[in-house]
Amino acid sequence: MSASLQVVSDSAPTPLEAQAALAEANSQAVRVHRADHQLGWIVLGIAAIYLAVGALMSTLPDPRRAGPVVGPAILAVMVVGLVGLVFVCLRIRAYSRTGILLYFGGVGAFGLWNGIVVGVSIATRWWASTQPSYHFGIDVVVAIIPLLVAAWLIWRR
């Protein structure tokens, strides 16, 4: 019988130490939950940028002859939007696995869905030169549905 017994030198935490550890864990959980909400704002920001560019494009009488103002306006919307998104991203210190999966799942679903919407619009001649430019705006509204769903799912957690 040469069974060796190990003596545990650390005793169980005191109730005060356990309470402090639980408070710290709750504090970290709140930070992660807040960061997940910021991921929802990022997804919504992507949708807002896409909507703003779509609104600019759909108000043109002829998108092929945009004029000198629309190009810089679209560039300004994208730069300001991306700077805002980077600012929010830099504030995130930690995030949950579920939050980041919902974020990337939503962005990936948006890319796939947007490709389908564009493909169907071209194939059905919804985007033909004879069609009004507001058709582009309607497609933008349909295309951002996965981003809105992803933001809602992230905030719902």
pLDDT digits (tens, 9 = 90+) for 4-32: 555 555 677 787 776 776 767 666 666 66
Distance CA(76)–CA(50), nearest Å, equals 13
Q: Tokens for 85?
A: 């998104």
SS3 61: coil
Using one digit for the tens of pLDDT, what is the confidence trace for 82-138?
898 888 878 777 778 888 899 999 999 999 999 999 999 989 988 877 777 788 888
Extents of the domains making up the chain: 32-156
